[in-house]
C-alpha cells in the first residue's frame, strides 16, 4: 500500500491526490508535499479514499519537492486522459 497514489473523497482535501506513506489498520497516513508534508502526514480512514493503480517508488518521493512533482505529473496525465474523451 505504501507509495500508492490515492484521491481524497471526503474532508477539506476532497478531490486532491495524495500518496500513502504508511498504514495502520483501517487508517492510512497520506501526504501531498504541500499542505501535508512528509514530516506530518494526515491520518485518513481508508473508506474516505479512492485507490488508484499507480504506485510510486520510495525514491520518487524522498522529499516534499519530489512528492509535489510526482503528483503534478500524475495529475496532468489524468487530466490529459479526460480531455481526450470529451
Q: Comparing C-alpha atoms, which of 3, 19, 7, 1 is closest to residue 57?
A: 3
**Could you tell me the CATH number of the domain that includes residue 61?**
2.30.30.30
Confidence class for position 81, pLDDT limits 50, 70, 90:
low
Higher-scoring residue by pLDDT: 80, 22 = 22
The pLDDT tens digits for 5-57 are 999 999 999 999 999 999 999 999 999 999 999 999 999 999 999 999 999 99
Full residue range of the structural domain in which residue 40 is found? 4-85
Distance between the two ends of the chain, CA-based, in angstroms?
32
Is residue 86 pLDDT above 50, yes or no?
no
Neighbours of 72 (CB within 10 A): 12
**How many domains does the structure of the chain reveal?**
1
Task: Provide the whole-model pTM.
Answer: 0.86
Amino acid at each position: 500500500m505504501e507509495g500508492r497514489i490515492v484521491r481524497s473523497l471526503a474532508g477539506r482535501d476532497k478531490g486532491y491526490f495524495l500518496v500513502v506513506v504508511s498504514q495502520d489498520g483501517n487508517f492510512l497516513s497520506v501526504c501531498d508535499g504541500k499542505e501535508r508534508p512528509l514530516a506530518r502526514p494526515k491520518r485518513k480512514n481508508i473508506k474516505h479514499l479512492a485507490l488508484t493503480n499507480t504506485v510510486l517508488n520510495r525514491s520518487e518521493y524522498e522529499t516534499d519537492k519530489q512528492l509535489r512533482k510526482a503528483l503534478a505529473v500524475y495529475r496532468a496525465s489524468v487530466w490529459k486522459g479526460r480531455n481526450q474523451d470529451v
